[in-house]
Amino acid sequence: MNYRIVTDSSSNVLVMPGENYTSVPLKIVAEKEYVDNTSLNVAQMVEDLKHHKGKSGSSCPNVGEWVEAFGDAACVFGVTISKHLSGSYNAAKQAAEAYMEEHPGRKAFIFDSLATGPEMMMVVDKIRQCEAEGDDFETTKAKVLDYHNHLHTLFCLESMNNLARNGRVNPAVAKLAGMLGIRVAGDAEGGEITPVHKPRGPKKATQALVDMIKERGFFDGAVLRVAHCFAEEAAYALRNAIFEEFPHTKFLLEPTTALCSYYAEVGGLIIGFEGGFNAKNDNTKF
């Protein structure tokens, strides 16, 4: 099947050599605009924003950018950040409708990850698996939707300033993050950011994450994928703690690109993993 996978750049994976995959950039808008692509120096962006005193925010790809990314593929699968966090899903869905209208016979479907980062790439990997096994478009769609119902996203943040400034979390909760070593560990429940624990110090933060992962049905041999914002040490502390109980875990690690770096901020982790049925992820109605 002539297919293409397209994500927005909150997936943190902008290129996949040898794969029919492309990423559509989101943008961070502050004193200047930062385009979330391979040319961007993320470390410099983070440093710039640390000293920026004015307003900042993010903007999603428009319909035309999504359509252009689809290319001339007969079948397109798009994966976006949660529609509760960005307009990317709605733009991608409109693009898919326009694409099929302009090219009768072609197919396009957009998956709302109801998350960001690692969980998006786990959906991408499932699509790739279905294509490798020769599944047709509709079978792939059904299998991926079912798989998505067993995915979970957690986060652990040292700062929530940018989330609060952009209305993603309660400012009162955001003030706790970073105070006297307090971190905020939480859940992405159906695409909504929900703080669960407020551990003090890195060891307690790691244990809180391990407990939350286990509570959500993680099992030995399952995939656990972590995106970190200049927090590799914390990511490996989590990896080591998980491996003590689940030694066959399939662990993957990647740095955050611009969008996730902006919201996770320095020291932040975003964790996607396979587990039990996640009722909040039930998007089979799409």
Domain residues for 235?
Answer: 151-281
CATH number at residue 180: 3.30.1180.10
On whether both 161 and 187 belong to a single domain, the answer is yes
pLDDT in the model for residue 282: 67
pLDDT in the model for residue 181: 72
On whether both 103 and 197 belong to a single domain, the answer is no
| The last residue of a domain, from among 97, 128, 148 | 148
What's the predicted TM-score (pTM) here?
0.94
Amino acid at position 67, single letter: V
Q: How many domains does the chain have?
A: 2
Q: Is residue 183 part of a domain?
A: yes
Q: Is residue 286 part of a domain?
A: no
On whether both 66 and 193 belong to a single domain, the answer is no
pLDDT in tens, 125-180: 999 999 999 999 999 999 999 999 999 999 999 988 888 777 667 676 667 666 66
On whether both 139 and 87 belong to a single domain, the answer is yes
Q: Is residue 237 part of a domain?
A: yes
Vertex 47 angle, CA 232 and 35, to 5°: 90
| The last residue of a domain, from among 115, 148, 181 | 148
As a whole number of angstroms, the distance between CA 91 and CA 96 comes to 9
Neighbour tally for 268: CB within 10 Å: 26
Vertex 109 angle, CA 284 and 20, to 5°: 130
On whether both 82 and 63 belong to a single domain, the answer is yes
| The last residue of a domain, from among 118, 148, 178 | 148
On whether both 160 and 212 belong to a single domain, the answer is yes
As a whole number of angstroms, the distance between CA 128 and CA 9 comes to 18
Q: What's the token pair of residue 160?
A: 């929530």
Q: Is residue 275 part of a domain?
A: yes
CATH number at residue 21: 3.40.50.10170
On whether both 265 and 177 belong to a single domain, the answer is yes
Q: Is residue 161 part of a domain?
A: yes
On whether both 207 and 236 belong to a single domain, the answer is yes
pLDDT in the model for residue 286: 44
The DSSP annotation for the chain comes to --EEEEEEGGGS----TTSSEEEE--EEESSSEEE-STT--HHHHHHHHHT--S--EEE---HHHHHHHHTT-SEEEEEES-TTT-SHHHHHHHHHHHHHHHSTT-EEEEEE-SS-THHHHHHHHHHHHHHHTT--HHHHHHHHHHHHTTEEEEEEES--HHHHHTTSS-HHHHHHTTGGGB-EEEEEETTEEEEEE--BSHHHHHHHHHHHHHHTT--TT-EEEEEESS-HHHHHHHHHHHHHH-TT-EEEEEE--HHHHHHH-TT-EEEEEE-S--GGG--TT-
As a whole number of angstroms, the distance between CA 107 and CA 117 comes to 25
Give the dihedral of Cα atoms 251, 256, 261, 264; nearest 10 deg.
-10
On whether both 42 and 133 belong to a single domain, the answer is yes
Provide the residue-wise pLDDT of the chain in tens; the chain has 286 residues: 689 999 999 999 999 999 999 999 999 999 999 999 999 999 999 999 988 988 999 999 999 999 999 999 999 999 999 999 899 999 999 999 999 999 999 999 999 999 999 999 999 999 999 999 999 999 999 999 999 999 999 999 998 888 877 766 767 666 766 666 788 898 987 667 788 888 999 999 999 999 999 999 999 999 999 999 999 999 999 999 999 999 999 999 999 999 999 999 999 999 999 999 998 886 654 4
On whether both 143 and 159 belong to a single domain, the answer is no
pLDDT in tens, 184-212: 898 987 667 788 888 999 999 999 999 99
On whether both 224 and 131 belong to a single domain, the answer is no
